[in-house]
Amino acid sequence: MAHINPSGDQELIERWRDQPASLLPLLHAFHDRDGYLSDDALRAVASGLRIPIADLYGTVTFYHHFARVKGGKARPRVCDGPVCKLQGCDELIVGLDGATAMPCAGRCDGPIPVLQDDEVLIGTQPGALTAAPPLVPPPNPGGIDECVFAEVRDPRRKTLAGYRESGGYRALSRAVREMTPEQVLDVVSGSGLTGRGGASFPTALKWRAVREAGGGPKTVVCNADEGEPGCFQDRVLMDLDPHAILEGMTLAAFATGATRGFIYLRYEYPATQGVLETAIEEARAAELLGTSVLGTELTFDIHVRRGAGAYICGEETSLLNSLEGKHPFPRNRPPYPVTNGFEGTPTAVNNVETLASVPPIVDRGAEWYAGLGAGEHKGTKIISLSGDVARPGNYEVPIGIPLKTVLYDWAGGAPEGRTVQAVTMAGLSGGFLGAEDIEEATLDEPSMRARGSLLGAGGVMVFDDSRDMVEIARQAMSFFAHESCGKCFPCRIGTQRLTERLAGVAGPKEPELWKAEVEDIGRTMAAVSACGLGVAAPGITGSLMRLFPEQVDAHVNGQRK
Amino acid sequence: MSNPLRDMEKPDAIFCIGTNMTEAHPVAAMRIKKALRRGAKLIVADPRKIPLAKKADVFLQLRVGTDVALLGAMAHVIVREGLVDENFIAKRTENFAALGEHLKEFTPEWAETITGVPAKDIEQAAIWYGEAANGAIFYTLGITEHICGVDNVQSLCNLVLLTGHIGREGTGINPMRGQNNVQGAGDCGALPNNYPGFQPVTDPANQAKFREAWGVEVDIEEGWTKVRALDECGKKIHAFLICGENTVVSDADRAHCEHALRSLDHMVVIDIFRTETADLADVILPATAWAETDGVFTNTERRPQRVRAAVPPPGVAKPDWWIIAQIAKRLGAPGFDYESPKEVFNELCELSPTYHGLDWDLVAEGRHHWPVPEKGHAGTPVLHIGEFPRGRGLFMTPSYRDPAETIDDDYPVWLTTGRRLAHYHTRTMTGRSVGTEYLVPEELVEVHPDDVADWGLEDGEFAVMSSRRGEVMVKVEATDKSPRGTVFCSFSFSEVPINALTGSGYDPITDTAELKVCPVRIERATTSV
Amino acid sequence: MSSDGSSNGSSNGSPTLTLDGKVVPFETGETLYEVARRHTSDVPTLCYDERLEAFGACRLCVVEIEGFRSPVASCTTHAAHGMNVQTKTEKLEKHRKTLMELVCSENPRGVEIDPMRGHASQEMTDLAQRYAVDGTRFEGAQSGQSHPDDPNPMILRDYDHCISCYRCVRVCAEQEGDYAISIANRGFQTQITTEFNGFLKGSECTFCGQCVQTCPTGALADNRALQHTREPGEVELTRSICPFCGVGCSVDIMSKGDKLVGVRPAMDGPANEGALCVKGQFGWEWVQHPERLKNPMVRKDGVLVEASWDEALDRAAEGFRRVRDTHGRHAIYGVASGRAPHESAFSVQKFIRAGFGTNQIDNCSRA
């Protein structure tokens, strides 16, 4: 085939070659221009960026969303996450011409999202898809003081002017003019803020490690690769309150000494990229970013980098490899990103919600934020609630509040005539909680860990008593298998074998043998997998067998002919 | 090589000139690629866009035969930019003042007009090499196979002496030896001017030593080089013993070479195949091959290592040493009562100062780099630490000269020759192995696509390529590996005897043929083969 | 106890740790696997090749460290002073058995891996035997997809046996520096690939064979050696040096009886450290080629005909004698080979110098 546009190739390469983290945006530039990534495009990129062609080819095939056939980018991708399954996404895929499935696209609180080119449509019927509006969190149902959601329901908040009107950039101005980085670290430390993406690592500790690490330039990365099924809070924050994230990153830069920032945004949020880039332009124009932030010596700028469809890139070291244009396998640790992050330099990787929490914390003080938690717990967490629940959506809750308060009092519990059979926690990574756990658990890590689960990124999917829990587990495991990077043996093979057993296509036909196999695989995966994916995945089968032994027996016995 | 192979992973700046290392010395090139992963800078100078050029930080695509101009300009820049190692120059060199004067006219801009390499690239290369904490030079026949081969090497030595990149780990000047034991052949004294261990034959002390060792009268004058001997065939030379060389195909100017060998009274060939050269012999003696022979090879980093027989030879083939001893004994020569290769090798060690500390058993594991002057010596991985063989390093002042023949209206294209990864020399071996033959089943002349069009050639079709000495038919491959106006061919295929064309001139000191430069004419073949 | 990978020397200098109850010294920067391998030979692994950066894929080398919640991969964990490390607890062995059951479950069962496939080809088979695993537990889909269509006669791409340890990909990048092969797709769909999933010829592959020799399952195999599978006898290895260029790579010549059946790089070869190129690895079939010279030949009536050694040697000597007597000693010229061993070149120059009293001797280095 003749080369499409070699001179255009050169322009794209020149546009990106000397930019930081250039591979992904350059690939997207070709992907957008041609509607797919042709062999010639890959050859041009490989030679333009001096990447081995075999490596580039392999890395491109790693990502779900890079189309390799002509017209591929425009073909509809339909979310087949657990909640969209409940809404009938399988029928939608069959009904839409050329459609394929995509893993959970982060809109579990509404109709099924369909990604078509760079537009997100929603609906459940092929002929009735409509543009997807940004989803505003339900009005503060608990009437409790909020942190990140306090102002987001105001539509003006999205613009720089509106953001400033409601107190935006007050924290940054104060920090860069009146505070030392050490003081900012103290405030964040005192607030008890920990990583809201799921790892719960103390934010100030991470920042201090970056600050004290040798070498540079230092980097702040906002992990906006919100890929956990059932989690959609980061999208809402970015769409409605982009400046809060920019301000949080700039405060992180001030505290750590970083000079460059990246927002690594998942592919499935195309509109969000525009929102962030507009906000960055506004901030640059107002000298809130750039070589002299607010007229001080602080130099910091932010680049948005769009992912291409890989759950594992939410794992911080995979994310860094992806940014650097490498194969996005997780890295071995130590060394950790705080000393050896982006291009080997000290890097703070923080989640969106974490960063958005920082400006109010610096503005209103450590004690204020710490006091938002319930009892001994500090601060708040957004819970994304979806599935068989009356009022799905994002709820900012005091950490430590009872799960049932949010599930029943705020969100209205199961739909009429149904009862809640189970919920997932941490999206899928916390496995299932059953009725007893739901009664007793509070929304904090100690409570969750005591029940063999995780609060994690705060995704809670609800399944009522009509649902086949083995099938739900199969979908969950199938997601993990689809997203396993393939680097470590227990995860690569284990997720596959567990999926096959949950689907009933392989494995013993005797319940006891079946359970022994599933337990053995799960135990080894949890103990020796190289990253969190392989460690978390068997939580699904473990909790399934613990909570729903009869359904498991019926599943295995049902296979017997 | 002044430095061991493992040092190739250690320099900060690597300068490869006239070496298609990834194809001719692939396993050594691996180490350079490792250095690059570590962040070393790579400077590549070659007329062709060889695979190594793609990995280079700066690629100096010079016109064939203009190395002296390029290297002089690099030296000029190193002096101009103050990148010389003054301490090294003061302590370990002489004649620096003369070089400084000599280099004045070698501006990068002047060199650009000769070499075609942009002045700024020459400057960049010189600065990287000059600035490096450890810089190392690697070269092969692209430097030596010229009428100015000695000048080229001296120009490289000047860079080394200016910067002091020698006598330390990760530095040095490193010619890569092409054949498995060509280093060894020299070590063994298979040279017209040296006894084993590079002991000059004209030195009376050495003459006395060998007279006594062998119990015979020895010649007190140097012999001739093979090139000169071929010229004298049928005149002053009347018998040849050729051991394991396909002279007819590998040497320059095939017609001349064949004619020379045909004019001999007596020609004995010891080989493993009936080569084109063996066909001309009066007697062919079948030798055991690799995998059938016990012995010693010395590699390019001066490391003697043992080879071992694993399988029996075909027919009645015998080891070379046995065959030669049999002939010698028939001629009544003393000292050929060897019963094993071990005895031959140990005699070499006795007589050679560079091997004196070695013996057959000590080289079993290949742990030493020569010189190993006495037993118990650990060997010498890095040469020239503290002192050069002549004491101080001498700056020479070579000037640029054109190749022996330059392009003109009759022969308007530069031909340069070399090797391909899959084949070894004249394909006696690799042409008889399934895998290597699969990769490169035929010879192609590499021509720039624009030249293919301009000259009325066609990719994949036959062309006639001729020089002042002969012509060959060869298929054309359009590739931008070749620059415009220069074409490339290997000499591996007997069907495309490229050395029918070469032989325009020889280095006056070493008698090495200018195989890297030969003006030719290329026309589309009217009839196909 | 230090758990952050840094190693502080003990009071008397070199740092130590406790390995299976014994206090052992180590050097700063060493991984637990390196330390363990020095003291006990049986920490299993499938993704480790000492020439490559530690990768941590197979997880078989996991060890327990006191104070750590989960086992850690010893190949990617640096030794630290004071660590208390267990390499062979019941729990670890159970995980290893499960891992072996998993990895064997994606390999076709009942296939003996011919040791001629490559240097490391028995590693998985050996471990399967050690853990008494036959691949029947955890049955399910197979992940490999072989490339029987690749027409190259050197590297067999039998990916049905591939376990995605990426040693081939890593050796190609880190050792050979060719980056010819890479990893396509992800998870269980992972495949070893070339650019655009094409054949090896036409890719950046130089057929050095290093991928073949590091493959722990024989999925990549030496297809030249495999031509001699049915040859009777055991494979014998003879250490030697490659006959091609001047680098002097150490090789192990593989023979069965009188038959040369292959060549393998010597992992401890000083010049090559386990590497070879296409010529050394695959270009050896000329040795026992039918066209080899088997008998001496002499020219009779203008034609070369076979002769006995005595006849040929007499003819050779007689010719030299005649020329010496007619034209003098300087009329005889010797060309030694840069291809044959020292004993050849030394003999040729001695023959010319001592036999005739002339220095008319050279070797092929000028061409």
The answer, for C90 touching chain A at a CB cutoff of 8 Å, is no
Task: Please state, in angstroms and rounded to a whole number, the distance separating the CA atoms of residues B140 and B46.
Answer: 11
B1-54 pLDDT, tens digit per residue, is 999 999 999 999 999 999 999 999 999 999 999 999 999 999 999 999 999 999
Task: Please state, in angstroms and rounded to a whole number, the distance separating the CA atoms of residues A378 and A207.
Answer: 19
pLDDT for residue A238 is more than 70: yes
The predicted structure's pLDDT at residue B252: 84
pLDDT for residue A383 is more than 80: yes
Residues C110 and C210 in one domain: yes
Give the minimum alpha-carbon distance from B378 to chain C in angstroms, rounded to a whole number: 15
Q: Which amino acid is at C160?
A: D
The answer, for C103 touching chain A at a CB cutoff of 8 Å, is yes
pLDDT for residue C10 is more than 60: no
The predicted structure's pLDDT at residue C367: 56
C-beta atoms of C181 and A517 within 8 A: no
Residues of chain C neighbouring B326 (CB-CB closer than 8 A): 309, 313
Of B397, B333, B513, nearest to B106 by C-alpha is B397
Local structure of C24: helix, strand or coil: strand
Of B122, B27, B26, nearest to B69 by C-alpha is B122
Give the minimum alpha-carbon distance from C37 to chain A in angstroms, rounded to a whole number: 20
Residues of chain C neighbouring A505 (CB-CB closer than 8 A): 140
Selecting from C260, C296, C297 the residue whose C-beta is nearest the C-beta of B310 gives: C260
- The fold of the A6-72 domain, in CATH, is Arc Repressor Mutant, subunit A (1.10.10)
C288's tokens: 């026992």
Selecting from A61, A312, A521 the residue whose C-beta is nearest the C-beta of C98 gives: A521
The answer, for A507 touching chain C at a CB cutoff of 8 Å, is yes
B444, B475 contact by CB (below 8 A): yes
Residues of chain C neighbouring B344 (CB-CB closer than 8 A): 342-343, 346-347
The answer, for C314 touching chain B at a CB cutoff of 8 Å, is yes
The answer, for C86 touching chain B at a CB cutoff of 8 Å, is no
Q: Quick one: CA dihedral B191, B196, B198, B204, positive or negative?
A: negative
User: Cα dihedral angle (A343, A347, A353, A359), rounded to 10 degrees?
Assistant: -130
Domain that holds residue C40: 16-88
Domain boundaries, chain A: 6-72, 76-131, 155-370, 380-464, 469-559
C-beta atoms of C333 and B187 within 8 A: no
C-beta atoms of A54 and C54 within 8 A: no
A82-133 pLDDT, tens digit per residue, is 999 999 999 999 999 999 999 999 999 999 999 999 999 999 999 899 999 8
Question: Which of the two residues, B503 and A59, has the higher pLDDT score?
Answer: A59
The predicted structure's pLDDT at residue B250: 86
Give the minimum alpha-carbon distance from C299 to chain B in angstroms, rounded to a whole number: 5
Selecting from C103, C137, C187 the residue whose C-beta is nearest the C-beta of A484 gives: C187
The answer, for C85 touching chain B at a CB cutoff of 8 Å, is no
pLDDT for residue C108 is more than 80: no
CATH code: domain of residue C273: 2.20.25.90
Q: Which residues in chain B (348-407) have CB-CB distances under 8 A to chain C?
A: 348, 366-367
The predicted structure's pLDDT at residue A5: 55
Q: What percent of chain B has pLDDT over 90?
A: 92
Selecting from B34, B237, B245 the residue whose C-beta is nearest the C-beta of C364 gives: B245
C58-88 pLDDT, tens digit per residue, is 999 999 999 999 999 999 999 999 999 999 9
C-beta atoms of A495 and C55 within 8 A: no
C296-338 pLDDT, tens digit per residue, is 999 999 999 999 999 999 999 999 999 999 999 999 999 999 9
C-beta atoms of C73 and A54 within 8 A: no
Residues C347 and C286 in one domain: no
Cα separation of the two ends of chain A: 53
Q: What percent of chain A has pLDDT over 90?
A: 95
C-beta atoms of C362 and B223 within 8 A: yes
Of A351, A264, A252, A242, nearest to A293 by C-alpha is A252
A297-332 pLDDT, tens digit per residue, is 999 999 999 999 999 999 999 999 999 999 999 999
Q: Which amino acid is at A449?
A: R
Residues of chain A neighbouring C62 (CB-CB closer than 8 A): 527-528
The answer, for C222 touching chain A at a CB cutoff of 8 Å, is no
Q: Which residues in chain C (251-280) have CB-CB distances under 8 A to chain B?
A: 253, 255, 258-260, 270-272, 275-280
The answer, for B226 touching chain C at a CB cutoff of 8 Å, is yes
Least confident interval from B299-313, B500-514, C278-292 = B500-514
Subunits with 3+ Cβ pairs within 8 Å of A are C
CATH code: domain of residue C216: 3.30.70.20
Of C273, C289, C285, C153, nearest to C223 by C-alpha is C153
C293, B295 contact by CB (below 8 A): no
Least confident interval from A496-500, B240-244, B430-434, B480-484 = B430-434
Residues C65 and C122 in one domain: no
The predicted structure's pLDDT at residue C111: 64
The answer, for A521 touching chain C at a CB cutoff of 8 Å, is yes
CATH code: domain of residue C51: 3.10.20.740
Q: Which residues in chain C (335-354) have CB-CB distances under 8 A to chain A?
A: none
Residues C306 and C281 in one domain: no
Q: Which domains does chain B have, with CATH numbers?
A: 5-176 (3.40.228.10), 179-223+287-315+338-369 (3.40.50.740), 226-286 (no CATH), 413-524 (2.40.40.20)
The answer, for C79 touching chain A at a CB cutoff of 8 Å, is no
Number of structural domains chain C divides into:
4
Give the minimum alpha-carbon distance from A265 to chain C in angstroms, rounded to a whole number: 20
pLDDT for residue A561 is more than 50: no
The answer, for B505 touching chain C at a CB cutoff of 8 Å, is no
Integer angstrom CA distances of residue A502 from A164, A463, B305: 52, 18, 60
CATH 3.90.1150.10 fits A380-464, yes or no: no
Q: Which amino acid is at B195?
A: Y
CATH class of A155-370: alpha beta
Q: What are phi and psi of A344, to 5 degrees?
A: 80, 5
Subunits with 3+ Cβ pairs within 8 Å of C are A, B
Q: What are phi and psi of C306, to 5 degrees?
A: -65, 150
Q: Which amino acid is at A490?
A: P
Residues C120 and C212 in one domain: yes
C-beta atoms of B22 and C206 within 8 A: yes
Residues of chain B neighbouring C238 (CB-CB closer than 8 A): 291, 308-310
Q: Which amino acid is at A296?
A: T
For residue A12, is it left (φ>0), alpha (ψ between -120 and 50) or beta? alpha
Residues C284 and C307 in one domain: no
Domain end residue (candidates: C223, C252, C273): C223
For residue A394, is it left (φ>0), alpha (ψ between -120 and 50) or beta? beta
Q: Which amino acid is at B316?
A: V
Residues C216 and C165 in one domain: yes
pLDDT for residue B314 is more than 80: yes
Local structure of C268: helix, strand or coil: coil
B520, B416 contact by CB (below 8 A): no
C-beta atoms of A57 and C105 within 8 A: no
ipTM of this complex = 0.94
B106-131 pLDDT, tens digit per residue, is 999 999 999 999 999 999 999 999 99
Q: Encode A50-95 in three state secondary structure.
A: CCCHHHHHHHHHHCCCCCCCCCHHHCCEEECCHHHHHCCHHHHHHH
Q: What is the mean pLDDT of residues A229-235?
A: 97
Q: Encode B309-376 in three state secondary structure.
A: CCCCCCCCCECHHHHHHHHHHHCCCCCCCCCCHHHHHHHHHHHCCCCCCCCCCCCCCCCCCCCCCCCC
The answer, for A477 touching chain C at a CB cutoff of 8 Å, is no
Which residues are CB-contacts of C183 (< 8 A; sequence separation ≥ 6)? A58, A62, A327, A486, C164, C166, C169, C190, C191, C192, C193
C-beta atoms of C102 and A58 within 8 A: no
Beta strands in chain C (DSSP E): 16-19, 22-25, 62-65, 72-73, 84-86, 155-157, 181-184, 191-194, 220-222, 236-241, 250-256, 259-265, 297-300, 303-306, 332-336, 361-363
A251-282 pLDDT, tens digit per residue, is 999 999 999 999 999 999 999 999 999 999 99
C-beta atoms of C185 and A332 within 8 A: no
Task: Please state, in angstroms and rounded to a whole number, the distance separating the CA atoms of residues C66 and C60.
Answer: 19
Residues C211 and C244 in one domain: no
Residues C309 and C280 in one domain: no
The answer, for A39 touching chain C at a CB cutoff of 8 Å, is yes
Q: Which residues in chain A (44-63) have CB-CB distances under 8 A to chain C?
A: 52-55, 57-59, 61-62
- The fold of the A469-559 domain, in CATH, is de novo design (two linked rop proteins) (1.20.1440)
C271, B303 contact by CB (below 8 A): yes
- Which residue is closest to C204 within chain B, CA to CA? B51
Helix spans in chain C (H): 32-39, 90-105, 123-130, 167-170, 210-214, 278-282, 309-327, 342-356
Q: Which amino acid is at A3?
A: H
Residues C157 and C113 in one domain: yes
Selected for mutation to probe chain C from A45, A482, A488, A495 (highest C CB count within 10 Å) is A488
- Which residue is closest to A310 within chain C, CA to CA? C186
A20-42 pLDDT, tens digit per residue, is 999 999 999 999 999 999 999 99
Residues facing B476 on adjacent strands = B445
Can you count the helices (H) and strands (E) in chain A? 26, 14
- Which residue is closest to A519 within chain C, CA to CA? C98
The predicted structure's pLDDT at residue C71: 96
The predicted structure's pLDDT at residue C109: 67
Task: Please state, in angstroms and rounded to a whole number, the distance separating the CA atoms of residues A272 and A264.
Answer: 11
Task: Please state, in angstroms and rounded to a whole number, the distance separating the CA atoms of residues A355 and A334.
Answer: 24
The burial of C317, by beta-carbon neighbours within 10 Å (0-12 exposed, 13-18 middle, 19 or more buried), is given as buried
Q: Quick one: CA dihedral B38, B39, B43, B47, positive or negative?
A: positive
Residues C47 and C115 in one domain: no
Domain end residue (candidates: C290, C314, C334): C290
Q: How does the average pLDDT of chain A come out, rounded?
A: 96
B347-359 pLDDT, tens digit per residue, is 999 999 999 999 9
Of B398, B408, B483, B375, nearest to B50 by C-alpha is B483
Q: What is the mean pLDDT of residues A455-478?
A: 97
Angle between helices B320-330 and C342-356 (to 10 degrees): 10
